[in-house]
Structure 1
Amino acid sequence: MKIYDISKGYFTAPVYPGDPVPRLERLQQMQLGDKFNLTAYYGGAHAATHMDAPRHFVDDGATIDQVPLEACFGPCTVLSVSGILTGEDADEILQFTQPRLLLRGEGSAYLSQSGAFALADGGIALVGTDASSIAPYEDAVLPHQELLLAGVPILEGLDLSGVPDGNYILAAFPLKLEGLEAAPVRAVLLEE
């Protein structure tokens, strides 16, 4: 079995415009004579590879600790796309994709509102992208809302550069950060 780590580094990934830049503080360091190492860190819930829960764009939506874990694990399709995926594109993809869909577009694989609607309506359990957002910057709200209102969690900031298109098993569990709208994820693909 081959395992692909499809997560970006929390402190090294590009930051979405306006989000806080992650940073760390070494509180204890053995190399400075302390008895152990201890680090504190600060950063946004949407830094690097992360999962959006419905609460991100739905005021009374489920928080990240309420996302069903079944959505985070199971059969998945990685697919290369270019630009913004429309509803028509999504309808074609749904004919052959697994219940979880990860879009690779060299950091620019996005969904339009109609694309998000078609995927949610078609029974997708989770959708992800190698872009920092599933939606283009100028239309950030509606694609998110279509998916999140339907209870479809969104994986953003994936590193799919070393993964061929195809079918895999996805394991992408978010940190259990109670009450938040998103959380970092260590995402992997399993290939038999």
Structure 2
Amino acid sequence: MKIIDLSLPIENGMYMPKAYWHPEVAFSVLGVHEKEGRMSRKIQLGTHTGTHVDAALHFLPNGATIDEAPLERLIGEAQLIDVSFVGPRQAIKAADLERGCKSGIKCSRVVIRTGWVERAWGTDVFGKDKPYFTKESIQWLLDHNINLMLIDTGDPDSDDDFVVGKPAPIHVMIFENDVTLIENVTNLDKLPEFFKIIALPLKLKGCDAAPGRVIAIVD
């Protein structure tokens, strides 16, 4: 058995997309061995920090919260779809997903590799120039009965669809169809086509998302 960590590390001052709803990640020391006899820290971070699990509440006003995420969906057999041949700012089409899926869809949990986190994480282009999904490609996934979708980008929407004050259409389509979305996963180049996934977000009561530890288990 081999365990592959698909999570980005959460670090003091780490990269975050530039938006006022993404606070800077900050660690500060509260207790030290020399004074308090123990080490303790205060952590400031947003719900969408690093590798995180989105809840429907993120874009649906009456959507489920992250503490309501079904655990049976977050643990189980998963399948890799490799579309890393799609370039920056290009749409991921249904035909691309079909091409990147060697054996046809066999699992309700899919991990979609664009290679973007490997190429651009921590840079100014990470949020802007990523490949993005279309309604056609999401419908293709829905037609194959997926209920958990992991991506190695910060979000599935086109940057052209990003308008402050309006919901993101691809996010909305995903959540309206009761699919759980996990963003900013990494190390997808190390995965075989089939493996077991364990993706556990922090149990933050009433929240729209939570950072999580996501791992793949390869037999």
Shared fold, TM over 0.5: yes
**Counterpart mapping for 1:102-181 below 5 A:** 102-107=111-116, 108-140=130-162, 141-181=168-208
Aligned to 1:45: 47
Contact 1:2 1:191 in 2 (8 A): yes
CA RMSD of aligned residues (A): 2.0
**Counterpart mapping for 1:46-61 below 5 A:** 46-61=48-63
Question: Is 1:84 matched up with 2:91?
Answer: yes
- Equivalenced residues, count: 191
1:161 Cα offset (Å)? 4.6
For the residue of structure 2 that corresponds to 1:41, the secondary structure is strand
1:10 Cα offset (Å)? 1.5
Aligned to 1:22: 25
Deviations 1:150-181 (A, max 9, x none): 11110101012551341110000111101111
1:135 Cα offset (Å)? 2.2
Find the partner of 1:36 among 29, 35, 38: 38
Contact 1:78 1:165 in 2 (8 A): yes
AA of the residue aligned to 1:127 = M
Find the partner of 1:72 among 48, 71, 74: 74
> % of aligned pairs identical?
25
Aligned to 1:99: 108
Distance 1:162 1:115 in 2: 22
Contact 1:87 1:114 in 2 (8 A): yes
Comparing 159-168 and 21-30, the one that deviates more:
159-168
Distance 2:96 2:169 in 1: 17
Cα 1:41–1:124 change in 2 (3 A) is: same
Q: TM-score, normalised on structure 2?
A: 0.80
Contact 2:105 2:144 in 1 (8 A): no
Q: TM-score, normalised on structure 1?
A: 0.90
1:11 Cα offset (Å)? 1.9
AA of the residue aligned to 1:15 = M
Q: Which has the higher strand share?
A: 1
AA of the residue aligned to 1:46 = H
For the residue of structure 2 that corresponds to 1:75, the secondary structure is strand
Question: Is 1:9 matched up with 2:9?
Answer: yes
AA of the residue aligned to 2:176 = L
1:63 Cα offset (Å)? 0.6
